[in-house]
Amino acid sequence: MRGTALRIGLTGGIGSGKSTVARTLVACGAALVDADAISRAVTAAGGAAIPEIAAQFGSHLIAADGAMDRERMRQVAFDDPTARRRLESIIHPLVGLETLRQYELAMGAGSRCVVFDIPLLVESGRWRQQLDQVLVVDCREATQIDRVMARNGWPRDVAEKILAGQASRRQRL
């Protein structure tokens, strides 16, 4: 990714406040490339990842509307690290392609600052060298868990399991 725009990676654990920071940066004129939104799009009904997810994991993980059954897949992926890596090997390349496409659109529109909201920036290892700066959004773990439970309606154990599967605060900072 080359260009004249400042490329900022925005990362942090689930429920840390990344979306709030992203909205603030967009309000200040930055373009936003949201990896979570892209991931949801490729796993939605008709999304590019759906055929391979069905082939690798079975059609029982595809909901009646044709989208990936996120709740069932979450259980599979967080209970089985091998399954999680298989899922990531399907989704991450598609997210990478769309991220590049959106960056090129922002550059074509004359954006001077592009924010890449990438929750798994630390975990993926591939993004850091493509960015000029990284902003880490951080808060107390208890706050993250409370936010995730309130926002997603998940029980505490699910929120804790997801948080445990992400890079630690020490790894991010």
Structural domain contains residue 67: yes
- Interaxial angle between packed helices 70-79 and 50-57, expressed in degrees from 0 to 180 and rounded to the nearest 10: 50
Instruction: Report if residue 109 sits inside a domain.
Output: yes
For 139, the domain range is 6-172
DSSP secondary structure code for residue 49 in this structure: T
Contacts of 133 (CB under 8 A, 6+ apart): 6, 7, 8, 9
Residue 1 lies in a domain: no
- Average pLDDT for residues 93-100, to the nearest whole number? 95
The pair of structure tokens assigned to 131 is 């960015």
pLDDT at 3: 61
The pLDDT confidence band at residue 123, using thresholds 50, 70 and 90, is: confident
Q: Determine, yes or no, domain membership for 62.
A: yes
Q: Phi and psi of 9, rounded to 5°?
A: -90, 130
Whole-number Å distance between alpha carbons of 95 and 84: 16
What is the rounded CA–CA span in Å between residue 173 and residue 166?
A: 13
- Rounded average pLDDT over 25-44: 97
Indicate whether 24 belongs to any domain: yes
**Over pLDDT 90: what percentage of the chain?**
80
Query: What does pTM read for this prediction?
Result: 0.86
Q: What is the strand order of the sheet 113-117 is part of?
A: 31-34, 113-117, 6-11, 133-136
* In a domain? residue 133: yes
- Residue 146 placed within a domain: yes
Cα-trace Rg, the chain: 16
Token pair 């091998």 is at which residue?
A: 82
pLDDT digits 0-9 by tens, 45-73: 999 999 999 999 999 999 999 999 999 99
Around Cβ 111, how many Cβ atoms within 10 Å?
19
Residue 59's CATH number:
3.40.50.300
Q: How many domains does the chain have?
A: 1
Residue 66 in any domain: the answer is yes
